Structure 1
Amino acid sequence: MRSLPSTAIDSFLAPSPDPERTGWLGRWTYAHRGLHGEGRVENARAAFAAALEAGVGIECDIQRSADDIPMVFHDWDFKRLIGRPDRTEALTAAEWRKLSYLEHEDAPMDLTELLAMVDGKVPILIEIKSRRSYDVETTCLKVRDALAGYDGHHAVMSFDPRVPRWLRRHSPETLRGLVMREDDRGYTQTALSRRMALWIAKPDFMAYHVDALPSEWVAGLRARGMPIATWTVRSAAERERARACADAPIFEGELPA
């Protein structure tokens, strides 16, 4: 029996996205966790304000409080940014708001606050954090509820393919992305695991680790119409690679030209 070409397999795993829905993704660059640095803390109000002022899109991260409020924060605990040992899911949203960053007096924001601040001025890529045995579906539900009625361009993405799968079933109007890396820190080190994640997720776009580009597989998906974002773009060489291999850089540091 003749085997199917890889392009046919990928077409089955993830049908080509609708360019009318995804077209805005590639018209922007995105500040990774906001435009942070020089006293502006990642995923915090000043970093997002700087991104708005610069006219670039925003990428942010979502953790969940003890009372299931989607909070804009990357880590699973407060050690690095706030100097406390607590895990993020151990504190209520009210307790989160009493915290302050080590480098700034601001407290972490929740997603509703960020959406009100951005108000459609730039697009937002919202990454839901997940890990093994984590109840990620509750986060998906709370993020969907926070986005209800929000008219600005936005998308929700995750390393966890359960996130875009949940959105496909329960919030089909939401643009959904699959984040992927190939190094030893990811979950998709093999071609089989990458295709399995794609099959589960069936995303509208991919956000691919810049260190894994160029990739023949990603180039094939892109040629079939799937938008490709790439992260985290920091150097001149990575900016060139992003221009050649992807549609939307998610950057830190110097604004891409």
Structure 2
Amino acid sequence: MTLRQRFLERPIAHRGLHDAGAGRPENGLSAIQVAVDAGYGVEIDLQLSSDGVPMVFHDHELERMTGMRGEISDMPAEDLVQIPLRGTDRPIPTLHAALQVVEGRVPLLIEIKDQSRVMGEVDGVLERAVAEMLDHYAGPVAVMSFNPHSIAAMAEAAPDVTRGLVTGGYDHPAWAPLGEARLEQLRAIADFDRVGASFISHDKDDLDDQAVQELRGRGVPVLCWTVTSPEEADDVRGKADNITFEGFRP
């Protein structure tokens, strides 16, 4: 499935149009709602509860966004939806709740967080749960992940849902444990065709990369993350087909 043109027409709000100072935490329903009302596309992250429910949450650990210790994968959804996001009385949302807010009014870009944590094979539980929910969703939607194995699992679970890879230069020290051979494979975006991807979302600071430019030469849409100012938006113009943004309104 190719990426719909609507994903290239308006900037995409990273984790919703969030503003902690205004009581709109990232990946919260209020941030999603405000982005939808403003006509932006919406990007959200998904983690998995202990009982197999897709939760709209970025980190594996709860602490940064809730102040609670522990990991999201260790708790059932019925408990997670009682935990307020930091600084608000609004809880961690489920994917189902987020879909109800968006209602197909704007493009929805879903990042499936790496459940293996080492960019390795996945059991497909999260991917199948996402596929089941999207089977009943009529709006423009696409899924993506840093982990190609996750996108391969999505291809099996939901072949008609548009898929992409989140990519970058992988030069941060946090990636080093993966080993240079695996990092080189990821930098080369070598799994793009194998997993049936139709777009990439690439690090805004690495858009001149040869692999990115080769894909653009093939007509592959290139999104980028995460643009945080009008100046950065100007810098990537002509290098990417759309931006994922936060911290300002393009």
TM-score normalised per structure 2: 0.89
**Distance in 1 between residues matched to 2:144 and 2:186, nearest whole Å:** 21
User: Of the candidates 79, 90, 101, which is equivalent to residue 106 of structure 1?
Assistant: 90
Is structure 2 residue 234 aligned with structure 1 residue 232? Answer: no
Please say if residues 155 and 175 of structure 1, whose CA atoms lie closer than 8 Å, have aligned partners that are also in contact.
Answer: yes
Please say if residues 54 and 129 of structure 2, whose CA atoms lie closer than 8 Å, have aligned partners that are also in contact.
Answer: yes
Please say if residues 146 and 165 of structure 2, whose CA atoms lie closer than 8 Å, have aligned partners that are also in contact.
Answer: yes
Please say if residues 79 and 85 of structure 1, whose CA atoms lie closer than 8 Å, have aligned partners that are also in contact.
Answer: yes
**What is the deviation of 1:191?**
6.0
Note the residue ranges of structure 2 that are not aligned, 5 or more in a row: none
**What is the deviation of 1:189?**
4.2
Please say if residues 214 and 241 of structure 1, whose CA atoms lie closer than 8 Å, have aligned partners that are also in contact.
Answer: no
Note the residue ranges of structure 1 that are not aligned, 5 or more in a row: 1-16
Change in CA separation of 1:95 and 1:204 when aligned onto 2, cut-off 3 Å: same
* Residues matched between the structures, number: 238
1:190 is paired with a residue whose SS is: helix
Please say if residues 181 and 189 of structure 1, whose CA atoms lie closer than 8 Å, have aligned partners that are also in contact.
Answer: no
**What is the deviation of 1:199?**
4.6
Larger Rg: 1
Deviations along 1:192-241, one digit per CA (max 9) or x if unpaired, are 75243335433110000111122232122112111011000012332023
Is structure 2 residue 111 aligned with structure 1 residue 127? Answer: yes
For residues 202-213 of structure 1, the aligned pairs below 5 Å read 202-213=196-207
**Distance in 1 between residues matched to 2:91 and 2:186, nearest whole Å:** 42
Please say if residues 60 and 127 of structure 1, whose CA atoms lie closer than 8 Å, have aligned partners that are also in contact.
Answer: yes
Task: State the identity %.
Answer: 33
Is structure 2 residue 11 aligned with structure 1 residue 29? Answer: yes
Give 1:44's aligned amino acid.
G
Deviations along 1:163-199, one digit per CA (max 9) or x if unpaired, are 2222223311100010012122446643675243335
The equivalent residue for 1:148 is: 135
**Distance in 1 between residues matched to 2:220 and 2:92, nearest whole Å:** 33
User: Of the candidates 136, 142, 146, which is equivalent to residue 159 of structure 1?
Assistant: 146
Change in CA separation of 1:211 and 1:159 when aligned onto 2, cut-off 3 Å: same
User: Of the candidates 38, 49, 61, which is equivalent to residue 54 of structure 1?
Assistant: 38
**What is the deviation of 1:137?**
1.0
Change in CA separation of 1:44 and 1:224 when aligned onto 2, cut-off 3 Å: same
The equivalent residue for 2:211 is: 217
Q: Which runs of 4+ in 1 moved over 6 A?
A: none
1:61 is paired with a residue whose SS is: strand
2:109 is paired with a residue whose SS is: strand
The equivalent residue for 1:90 is: 74
